[in-house]
Amino acid sequence: MASPPAGHIVAMGGGGFLMEPENPLLDDFVLGLARRKPARVCFLPTASGDAASTVARFYRAFSGRSIPSDLTLFESSVLPRRPPKTTDLPSFVAEHDVFYVGGGSTANLLALWRLHGLDRLLRDACRAGAVLAGVSAGMNCWFEGSVTDSFGGLGPLADGLGFLEGSACPHYDGEPERRPTYRRLVGSELADGYAADDGAALHFVDGALVEAVSSRPSASAYRVEGRGSEVIEERLPVRYLGTGAT
């Protein structure tokens, strides 16, 4: 794996404005890491096919507490649909403090980003101090591999961006087949890695896990490793971000 980009990556198993619109704790955590206030936040809805409904939900969630914009790649050109309008994708990316990736097809996301060179631009942005964050496919994409439903049923995807070492599994408690599928694949088709429940997020700095945080008191995160014929699942300490958090 190439050396990880310096900077913050927040990988959410589930939650944020797309899954918990009345619970802003994870989104507040991401905004709190931004280098500038108010943060310039770019939403990347690629995994959902740039669905207009997810873009609208993003603006409802982030307007008034950040400077929001979105970048769509399924249109005829690589132009943000909201100001600032630019044909210069590198300059547009460099302007932003946070990149927030929505859920959907991890495979489609990776293909479109690579086609337009956005993968390289995001690596450069992270090195320059931008925060990379996302939920579901927006968790998977940063790792070398992941469990995805991009091809129909759940299966392995071993061609992630590799900004983070190992593999990932979101929705660990939210979808019944996620946990057994990941446990079956780790150590065979996927490298050791991390799993996160809905409402849990893993915060990495310079490629190293700093902590796990959550928007729900019961949400958990795990380190999952294959050791011979066994799979070892270690529950990680999780810091609840809500009332009574310490």
Q: Cis peptide before 176, with omega less than 30 degrees from 0?
A: no
Looking at 66, 69, 150, 171, which residue is catalytic?
171
Domain with 138 in it: 8-165+198-220
Provide the Cα torsion 26, 42, 96, 13; round to 10°.
30
DSSP run (H or E) holding 18? helix 16-19
Tokens 């589930």 found at? 14
The CATH number of residue 75's host domain is: 3.40.50.880
Looking at 69, 105, 136, 167, which residue is catalytic?
136
* Residue 3: inside a domain: no
* Residue 50: inside a domain: yes
* pLDDT surpassing 50 at residue 83: no
Q: Is 136 a catalytic residue?
A: yes
The count of structural domains within the chain is: 1
Note the pLDDT of residue 244: 63
Q: How confident is the model over 58-75, as a mean pLDDT? A: 93
* Residue 82: inside a domain: yes
* Residue 230: inside a domain: no
Q: Is 8 a catalytic residue?
A: no
Percent of the chain with pLDDT over 90: 85
Note the pLDDT of residue 228: 79
pLDDT, tens digit, for every residue of 177-236?
Answer: 999 999 999 988 999 999 999 999 999 999 999 999 999 999 999 999 998 789 999 999
Note the pLDDT of residue 86: 44
* Residue 138: inside a domain: yes
* pLDDT surpassing 80 at residue 141: yes
pTM of the entire predicted model = 0.93
* Residue 175: inside a domain: no
pLDDT, tens digit, for every residue of 110-133?
Answer: 999 999 999 999 999 999 999 999
Q: Are strands 155-157 and 143-148 parallel, antiparallel or unpaired?
A: antiparallel
